């Protein structure tokens, strides 16, 4: 094997480890998508629509499973967010942050005279967990504050979901299907607990299967108001 080719093959694992440690895949993927959509938009949208289910309903389930693992470890005895009083702190912080964001949104809508945007105040509750995790890791490294940031983001998203469900409910509900999937997920979780499974991957696969089963091609159309 030529020396140059050998050096190239040897450097790939080191580059991958460096990119993984410094979280370079997220900005690299965002930059690639930004260039792609502005140069070849048709091929970009074809590709993004083709992999939408695999990314949004499967890959993101694994990502949220990893975030859940961080939070569970932090709330376990000896963790940063143990006992429950510590775990409650990011929840209270999320409640304050979302309330201020919603009030600011209402004031900005009134100041800009955009009444059509007044109903969109629950959107201000949303927190991008991937971006939050990326920024926290870049600034703080592997500091114990990372689970605090993740818990704050999860609580903000949960409050946003509650606000949307309370003030802007969908027309069509799927309580039976959702309840069956949730019961199955809880049953599998209980079985894994009784079997003393310590690996997190079976739980991640269970969550991916649960989220994938909720995917319905006509789900968006079902949420539209019916005339």
Classify residue 201: in a domain, yes or no: yes
pLDDT tens profile 187-208: 887 887 788 877 766 665 655 5
User: What integer pLDDT is reported at residue 92 of this predicted model?
Assistant: 94
Look at the block and give the residue holding tokens 């299967």. Answer: 209
pLDDT of residue 200: 61
Note the pLDDT tens digit of each residue in 128-153: 888 888 888 888 877 888 889 999 99
- Region of poorest pLDDT, from 12-21, 60-69, 98-107, 166-175: 12-21
Within this chain, do residues 152 and 114 fall inside the same structural domain, yes or no?
yes
Distance, first Cα to last Cα, the chain: 69
Instruction: For residues 37 and 83, state if they share a domain.
Output: no
Q: How many domains does the chain have?
A: 3
Task: Tell me if residue 169 falls in helix, strand or coil.
Answer: coil
Domain co-membership, 165 together with 175 = no
Note whether residue 57 is domain-resident: no
148 alpha-carbon distance from chain centroid: 15
pTM for the whole thing? 0.66
77 and 165 together in one domain: yes
Classify residue 215: in a domain, yes or no: yes
Q: Are residues 34 and 123 in the same domain?
A: no
- Regarding whether 220 and 143 lie in a shared domain, the answer is no
Which of 11-15, 21-25, 29-33, 104-108 is the least confident region? 11-15
120 and 39 housed in the same domain? no
Domain that holds residue 5: 1-50
The whole-angstrom separation of Cα 55 and Cα 77 is 34
Section 148-177 average pLDDT: 85
Question: Closest Cα to residue 142, out of 218, 80, 197, 58?
Answer: 80
């Amino acid at each position: 094997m030529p020396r140059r080719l050998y050096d190239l093959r040897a450097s790939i694992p080191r580059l991958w480890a460096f990119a993984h440690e410094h979280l370079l895949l997220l900005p690299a993927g965002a930059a690639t998508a930004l260039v792609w959509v502005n140069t070849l938009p048709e091929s970009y949208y074809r590709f993004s629509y083709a992999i939408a289910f695999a990314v949004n309903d499967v890959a993101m389930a694994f990502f949220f499973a990893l975030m859940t693992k961080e939070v569970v470890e932090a709330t376990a005895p000896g963790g940063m967010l143990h006992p429950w009083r510590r775990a409650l702190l990011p929840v209270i912080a999320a409640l304050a942050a979302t309330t201020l964001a919603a009030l600011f949104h209402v004031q900005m809508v009134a100041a800009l005279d955009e009444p059509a945007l007044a109903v969109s105040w629950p959107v201000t509750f949303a927190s991008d967990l991937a971006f939050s995790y990326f920024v926290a890791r870049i600034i703080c490294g592997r500091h114990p504050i990372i689970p605090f940031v993740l818990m704050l983001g999860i609580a903000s998203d949960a409050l946003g979901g509650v606000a949307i469900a309370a003030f802007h409910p969908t027309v069509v509900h799927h309580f039976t299907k959702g309840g069956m999937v949730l019961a199955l997920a809880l049953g599998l979780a209980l079985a894994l607990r009784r079997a003393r499974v310590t690996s997190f991957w079976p739980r991640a696969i269970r969550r991916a299967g649960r989220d994938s089963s909720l995917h319905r091609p006509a789900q968006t159309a079902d949420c539209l108001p019916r005339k």
